[in-house]
Amino acid sequence: MFSDPLLILAVVACFIVLGILAFGIGGFAKGSEFNQKHANKVMRYRLGAQLVAVILIVAFVFFRNMGAN
């Protein structure tokens, strides 16, 4: 199961979402001028990465269940 490339992609996508989220929260905590300019853009990137991660997870579950039948 852990050698499945789709699972590896889904896990990597989840870590990318986590990294973007941590970067955004760090910017909010610091409250700098960079945050004022780029906070919305960073959160849009997070939403896009999260969408990709969810699609990869759903695809993994779908194809995994198809192979079980």
Query: Residue 59 and residue 9: Cα distance in Å, rounded?
Result: 11
Residue ranges of domains in the chain: 5-68
Higher model confidence: residue 3 or residue 9? 9
pTM, rounded to two decimals: 0.85
The dihedral formed by the CA atoms of 47, 21, 12 and 48, expressed in degrees to the nearest 10:
10
Let me know the angle formed at the C-alpha of 58 by 4 and 10, rounded to the nearest 5 degrees. 45
- Tens digit of each residue's pLDDT (9 = 90 or more) over 6-55: 999 999 999 999 999 999 998 888 888 878 888 899 999 999 999 999 99
Q: Would you say residue 67 has pLDDT above 80?
A: no
Query: Residue 62 and residue 48: Cα distance in Å, rounded?
Result: 21
